Amino acid sequence: MTTQARRDRDALRRELSPHRKLYDLAIWRGRDGLREQQLARQPLCERCLSQGKTTLATTVNHREPHKGDWALFIDPVNHESVCKEHHDSTIKAEENRGYTIGTDVNGRPVDPNHPWNAR
């Protein structure tokens, strides 16, 4: 995908989801913004670390999707350093499904919102 095509896609996504405009604000993207502060605090992907791997984080994820909620957007406790691979695959799948992907030592889903736990 070309740089221009990527910009066009991102512009369309911002138009369709107004809360995406928050990511353009200086408080997030600026030189000393929240994104840079998080990556400075935790430069490694937290998801990879939990799997015993060491990968440089390039993205800051909101653990609980903010959907325009300013308090959730700026809350550093809600920020998670992740690699692009985790952000674009696992995290997107979790957001679409509505529960965290993962199991405990017995193979049971760890997220209480998982359909298996509704039994």
Domains identified in the chain, total number: 1
Specify the pLDDT at position 13.
67
d(C-alpha 55, C-alpha 52), whole Å = 10
Q: Is residue 67 part of a domain?
A: yes
In the chain, the amino acid numbered 40 is A
- Say what the alpha-carbon torsion angle 29, 31, 37, 43 is, to the nearest 10 degrees: 90
Walk along the chain (119 residues) and give the pLDDT tens digit of each residue. Answer: 788 887 787 777 667 676 888 988 999 998 899 999 999 999 999 999 999 999 999 999 999 888 899 999 999 999 999 999 999 888 887 777 777 777 778 888 777 788 887 77
Residues spanned by the domain of 74: 3-101
Q: How many CB atoms lie within 10 A of CB 41?
A: 10
Specify the pLDDT at position 94.
75
Q: Is residue 72 part of a domain?
A: yes
Tokens 């405990």, located at residue: 104
Q: Which residues pair with 61 in a beta bridge?
A: 80
